[in-house]
């Protein structure tokens, strides 16, 4: 049942014998019914990653009690872990500029129920999309970027005021300051209109056209203080050829950007993405 309430447990820790058995035994010992389980060990770092979904109605207690009871086991294995409740939707604060294709796609998926999130507000440095956003019943907040330091501090305050879980840069077209990236590590997701690490920075389709590439793409990634270099969540490409113009590349790219951002966000809000250094483990 896709709408069945579930607890999702995600774990990262040094690899060793007995982790899966210990976690599974703990859940089974409480009467828990595991409906999905994924595991991976990173060969380079020897870190172990786990994701398990448990039917909430199979347990005799709530998520807070689960956390309290699980903590001693987690400490014994040196785990970094979290437990999320599917009944509590993630809150996405979306940042946009003038281009609306990614925003339009996300709002459609949100309205149709495909993307199970709450969107408490949309923030923009332009007013072009105000009526479109407000038609969806979502507050639209325009931020003047003349003083970038003050503007980004205001955006950070809005993110906290609206209790955002994730900040989504849906073609925001502004470079976030390192202080903001460090303030919300692992909580800012960007869609970059290039198949990273190729063609970072501005006008990647123009860069790709000048190089005569045969593939262009888009990348959904976490934002860090190094430009376009954060851990990659999702990517895709489309083939192009010598007859395509820059405008063609931009048009093809918009379609990829929408789908890549939507997929990456879905993996993220379903707690399927775990960070391993500058890489990600994505349990699809």
Catalytic annotation, residues: 228
Distances from the Cα of 132 to the Cα of 70, 96, 128, 174, 255, angstroms: 45, 12, 8, 21, 20
Reduce the DSSP state of residue 79 to 3 states and report it: coil
Reduce the DSSP state of residue 27 to 3 states and report it: helix
Of 155, 148, 152, the residue nearest 93 (C-alpha): 155
Cα-based angle 126, 91, 104 (whole degrees, multiple of 5): 45
Reduce the DSSP state of residue 103 to 3 states and report it: helix
The distance of Cα 199 from the centroid of its chain, to the nearest Å, equals 22
Distances from the Cα of 213 to the Cα of 191, 196, 208, angstroms: 20, 13, 6
Whether residue 50 is preceded by a cis peptide bond, meaning omega within 30 degrees of 0, is: no
Dihedral angle at the C-alpha atoms of 252, 253, 258, 259, nearest 10 degrees? 80
Neighbours of 140 (CB within 10 A): 18
Of 12, 48, 8, the residue nearest 32 (C-alpha): 8
233 with 268: CB under 8 angstroms?
yes
94 with 119: CB under 8 angstroms?
yes
């Amino acid at each position: 049942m896709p709408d069945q309430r579930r607890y999702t447990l995600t774990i990262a820790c040094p690899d060793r014998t007995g982790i899966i058995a210990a976690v599974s035994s703990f859940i089974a010992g409480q009467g828990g019914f595991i409906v999905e389980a994924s595991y991976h060990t990173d060969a380079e770092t020897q870190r172990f990653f786990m994701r398990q979904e448990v039917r909430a109605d199979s347990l005799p207690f709530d998520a807070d009690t689960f956390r309290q009871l699980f903590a001693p086991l987690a400490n014994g294995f040196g785990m970094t872990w979290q437990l999320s409740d599917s009944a509590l939707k993630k809150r996405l604060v979306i940042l946009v500029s003038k281009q609306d294709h990614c925003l339009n796609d996300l709002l459609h998926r949100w309205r149709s129920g495909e993307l199970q999130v709450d969107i408490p507000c949309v923030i923009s440095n332009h007013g072009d999309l105000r009526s479109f956003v407000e038609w969806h019943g979502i507050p639209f907040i325009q931020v003047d970027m003349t003083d970038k330091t003050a503007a980004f501090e205001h955006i950070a305050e809005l993110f906290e005021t609206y209790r955002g879980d994730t900040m989504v840069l849906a073609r925001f077209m502004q470079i976030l300051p390192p202080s903001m990236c460090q303030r919300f590590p692992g909580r800012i997701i960007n869609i970059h209109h290039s198949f990273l690490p190729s063609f970072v920075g501005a006008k990647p389709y123009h860069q790709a056209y000048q190089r005569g590439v045969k593939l262009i793409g888009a990348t959904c990634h976490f934002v860090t203080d190094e430009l376009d270099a954060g851990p990659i969540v999702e990517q895709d490409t489309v083939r192009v050829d010598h007859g395509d113009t820059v405008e063609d590349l931009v048009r093809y790219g918009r379609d990829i950007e929408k789908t890549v951002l939507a997929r990456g966000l879905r993996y993220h809000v379903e707690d399927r993405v775990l960070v391993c250094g500058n890489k990600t483990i994505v349990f699809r």
